[in-house]
Amino acid sequence: MDAMNLSTHISSKFNEELELVRNEVLAMGGMVEQQVRDALTAAVESDNKLAQAVLSSDARINEIEMRIDEDCARIIAKRQPTAGDLRLMLVIMKAIGDLERIGDEAERIAKVALESFSNKQQKDLLGNVDNLGRLVLAMLRDTLDAFARMDVEAALKVHQEDQRVDREYEALMRLLMTYMMEDSRSIPKILNVMWAVRSLERIGDRCQNVCEYIMYLVKGTDVRHIEYEEMEEKMRGDEEE
């Protein structure tokens, strides 16, 4: 568990069990990241086969979430952890919930690939979706890395990246609305793209949630629903004293 920097509050009696759960979470995160990447590729390249593979993979993600939940419940009942150990269990259970929901958003993105985009304007639009998708994928990758290392500084950096994702999202949504006004026949397809764009924005929000869990576990401070400046002050306050 050295990689998680949690040796000060993990009981040696169930260290091995926690390591196994940690590995399961990281494996789930890797699967979800690949699911999002494949969904984005399928949407941009109109790859129906890859889109179907993404839709099929969601059942596997759900199974892993349920298994980790069961493992955590078993550890809590068996070991009766206290303080930081219990906090770790709660953080893991919350994190896998967000990872599972990221998988759900990947499904929605993949469904765009099942649409037919023929003219140049519509294909250019999918290129813009790809740009946002790359930002979100980078954010997800960095979130998983921060979780693996329980790195507060990395979590703070990723949390702030969501502001850039939000700006790109808002600009893309304005562009989509312009396309619909220019060509009313495109509205059904553009609406589907809007759902995919919204899913990408939500993935960014889920990444923020996981970063907040990291800060809570390492520092013991709940940073939900506060401005970034206050969050940064709370996380770095101990270092400056």
Two tokens at 210?
A: 């996981």
Q: Strand runs (DSSP E) across 31-70, as ranges?
A: none
- In three-state secondary structure terms, 115 is coil
Name residue 100's amino acid.
E
Q: What is the mean pLDDT of each successive set of 10 residues along the chain, which is 241 residues long?
A: 46 77 95 96 89 93 95 89 84 96 95 72 75 96 96 96 96 92 86 92 97 95 92 79 44
Predicted pLDDT at 3: 46
Q: Buried b / exposed e across 91-111, counting CB within 10 Å, b at 16+?
A: bbbbbbbbbbbbbbbbbbbbb
Phi and psi based region of residue 115 (left: phi greater than 0; alpha: psi -120 to 50; beta: remaining): beta
CA atoms within 13 A on the CB side of 193: 30
Contacts 24+ apart (CB under 8 A), 140-144: 140/32, 140/33, 140/36, 140/102, 140/203, 140/207, 141/33, 143/207, 143/210, 143/211, 144/26, 144/29, 144/30, 144/33
Predicted pLDDT at 121: 62
Predicted pLDDT at 8: 42
Q: Which helix (H) or strand (E) holds 238?
A: helix 228-240
Looking up tokens 């026949």, which residue turns up? 185
Measured between alpha carbons, how far is 52 from 113 in angstroms, rounded to an integer? 9
Measured between alpha carbons, how far is 206 from 147 in angstroms, rounded to an integer? 13
Measured between alpha carbons, how far is 170 from 70 in angstroms, rounded to an integer? 39
Measured between alpha carbons, how far is 143 from 213 in angstroms, rounded to an integer? 11
Predicted pLDDT at 201: 97
Residue 20 makes CB contacts below 8 A (sequence gap 6+) with 71
Predicted pLDDT at 116: 64
Name residue 238's amino acid.
D
Predicted pLDDT at 13: 62
